[in-house]
Amino acid sequence: MATKSVLVAHHDPKVLERLTARLADRGYDVIGPARTASMALALVAQTPVALALVGERLAGRRRGADLAEALRGTWGVRTFVLRELQPA
């Protein structure tokens, strides 16, 4: 498994763009980005990843916690669910 490959999944295209750019700038191989759990799972089925950064909300029916559980349970991917920040 590649140690520097990271899956990025989030519902917001702007957040995906920022995360992807920052990770790539730091030398990580970014898999995705994915806006839905289905897309993220399909990507991981094709390309092993070391880590997944998943938003609480995703486009589609499944939540980030559901995706995180599937990634850990099926592929053993260490996954962090990114919490949405509420405006002050």
Provide the residue ranges of all domains of the chain, joining segments of one domain with +. Answer: 5-82
> pLDDT tens across 18-74, in order?
999 999 999 999 999 999 999 999 999 999 999 999 999 999 999 999 999 999 999
Give the DSSP letter of residue 85: P
Backbone angles phi, psi at 37, to 5 degrees: -65, -40
Task: Determine the Cα–Cα distance for residues 11 and 61; give it in Å rounded to an integer.
Answer: 11
* First-to-final CA distance of the chain: 41
pLDDT band, very low/low/confident/very high, at 1 (cuts 50, 70, 90): very low
Q: Which two tokens stand for residue 6?
A: 């990271």
Q: What is the pLDDT of residue 23?
A: 96
CATH architecture of structural domain 5-82 = 3-Layer(aba) Sandwich (3.40)
- Whole-prediction pTM value? 0.89
